[in-house]
Structure 1
Amino acid sequence: MEAPSTCHDSAAPSLWRDISLSTIIAGFVAVVIGYTSSAAIIFQAAAAAGASTAQISSWLWALGIGMGLTSLGLSLRYRMPLLTAWSTPGAAFLATSPPGIPIEEAIGAFLFSALLITLCGVTGLFERLMRHIPSAIASAMLAGILLRFGLELFNVMERQWLLPLAMLAAWV
């Protein structure tokens, strides 16, 4: 996979000319959906690691700022909308990991994971590895990690049926 080409010629549209109400709304919707769709998993992963409310808030804030700055930097560099995000499967795995893992170790695992993901992306190793893994197996692995969250819905419906029903209606 090649990095997007940069556009440096004089005919390139200016940043201010590219901005319109529709591009701002499209970007806002993409960011809101991307952030909120898995924020609950991040929250649960931090809580499972024993984080306090202040630590969870700080974690989400740092993730939001980090994703915002990297998205802005990459978008300006490559002159196209690019979003960065956290690893939802990684957070789901941490949320379902055995209890008793200290928050310090969980943060260390996230940082080490980020380093490995960055190295895989920069070197092209991830793309070469993924060519050897059938997409059905990769999808099944993700489904296995996310299964607990899907099954937990039925427990929530026993206590609070209105929220899952409203979420289902919004999705449909």
Structure 2
Amino acid sequence: MVPDAAELRLVDPGAAVLVAAEATTGDFRAAVGAFVLCGVLLLVTGLWPALARAVTRIPKPIASAMLAGILFPICIAPVLAAVQLPALGLPVVIVWLLFARIAPRWAVPAAVLATVVVVLASGEGAELAATPLAPVLSVTWPVFDPLVLVSLGLPLYVVTMAGQNVPGFEVLKTFGYPHPPARVVLASTGAATVVGSVLGAYTLNLAAITAAMMAGPDAHPDRDRRWVASVAGGVCYLVLGLGSGAATALVTVTPPLLITAVAGLALFGALATATTGALEEPATRVVAVVTFLVVASQVSVAGIGSAFWGLVVGGIAMLWLGWRPRRRRELATP
């Protein structure tokens, strides 16, 4: 079963853009050209100090509400899976609940393992057994089609910044990293995107959802030790890459809702933190709620996803309601 655009949008806004752009081009080489453009724009953002500062200084209520809106549809997936796929979803949720009580740090890995078990027990193991374990690397050289560059490359850059990098910076700030090196992050991920695009890596970014898993106290109580979770995650990615055939087959035979449900179980704490940050200041709660609702709606306008439009609508609401930063208000008080 291949996820459709709505299901992919739950996991990765960039993937949803790719699905939406399918009608624009059937030539993957042209899509690779759009990936290259996205990487160049990310690199320019990192090298241009004013632009890097602009994209990382979005007011906290809007940025936190946007992150909460991105996470919300994922975090309700366990409920939907338990109701719509009870034979598969309920065992995974129950395993997560048991481990959340007795060994919280192992709750999500246990839920992932339970997912593999229930999928195999459902009779889908034959396809996995027939799948080659060794991955095959294939280089695709880009073709620069002006129409595809505009219709895919630019929206991909926008959703990467609005749906991944900006929330990713907010995740780091929320969990106590006040000054993430934005320019270095943006420039390095942009350069890596350009290089990796010929291998199908459409964007390398802060990956806000993964960052939320690895940057919080669930990874380690000591903030200075949470890098271990990031390194472990990178190693897991390498292992998945080496076994990408089996991993792809497993994902293919697993209902997309169940995959999203497991991710949702891992993100409850991040959703709580983002919601708290969005509603922390009474003066901006309406703005935060408006931003959250637009992002959580998952609407797509002109091929651009709801994370971007949530930023736009939230910014307009904040300007219209006359919000000013707390420090400026305090200075203005006689």
TM-score between both structures, scaled by the size of structure 2: 0.37
1:41 aligns with 2:168: no
Once the two structures are TM-superposed, the CA of residue 134 in structure 1 deviates from its matched residue by 4.5
Match of 2:235 among 102, 112, 115: 115
1:163 aligns with 2:163: no
One-letter identity of the residue aligned with 1:29: V
Match of 1:22 among 147, 150, 161: 150
* Range with greater deviation from structure 2 (125-134 or 32-41): 125-134
One-letter identity of the residue aligned with 1:144: L
Match of 1:106 in 2: 226
One-letter identity of the residue aligned with 1:37: P
Q: Which protein, 1 or 2, shows the higher relative CO under an 8 Å CA cutoff with sep ≥ 6? A: 2
- After the TM superposition, which residues 1-172 of structure 1 pair with which residues of structure 2 at under 5 Å, given as runs? 6-7=140-141, 13=143, 15=144, 18=145, 22=150, 25-33=154-162, 34-45=164-175, 47=176, 51=177, 53-54=178-179, 57-58=180-181, 60-75=182-197, 77=198, 82-94=202-214, 95-97=216-218, 100-103=221-224, 105-124=225-244, 125-130=246-251, 133-152=254-273, 153=275, 156-157=278-279, 159-160=281-282, 161-168=285-292, 170-171=294-295
Match of 2:76 in 1: none
CA distance in 1, matches of 2:160, 2:277: 30
Question: How many pairs does the alignment contain?
Answer: 154
One-letter identity of the residue aligned with 1:130: V
CA distance in 2, matches of 1:35, 1:107: 18
Match of 2:63 in 1: none
CA distance in 2, matches of 1:142, 1:84: 19
Cα RMSD, aligned residues only? 3.6
Once the two structures are TM-superposed, the CA of residue 106 in structure 1 deviates from its matched residue by 1.6
CA distance in 1, matches of 2:232, 2:270: 25
Task: Tell me if structure 2 keeps the 8 A contact 1:67–1:84.
Answer: yes
Once the two structures are TM-superposed, the CA of residue 115 in structure 1 deviates from its matched residue by 2.3
Once the two structures are TM-superposed, the CA of residue 73 in structure 1 deviates from its matched residue by 0.8
CA spacing shift, 1:44–1:74, aligned 2, 3 Å = same
Larger radius of gyration: 2
DSSP-derived class of the 2:226 partner: helix
Once the two structures are TM-superposed, the CA of residue 143 in structure 1 deviates from its matched residue by 1.5
Structure 2 unaligned regions, length at least 5? 1-134, 298-334
Once the two structures are TM-superposed, the CA of residue 83 in structure 1 deviates from its matched residue by 1.0
Structure 1 unaligned regions, length at least 5? none
Task: Tell me if structure 2 keeps the 8 A contact 1:89–1:145.
Answer: no
DSSP-derived class of the 1:115 partner: helix
Once the two structures are TM-superposed, the CA of residue 72 in structure 1 deviates from its matched residue by 1.0
Post-superposition Cα deviations, 1:98-117, rounded to whole Å, max 9, x if no partner, equal 763251x3223312321221
CA distance in 2, matches of 1:118, 1:43: 28
Task: Tell me if structure 2 keeps the 8 A contact 1:42–1:88.
Answer: no
CA distance in 1, matches of 2:201, 2:211: 25
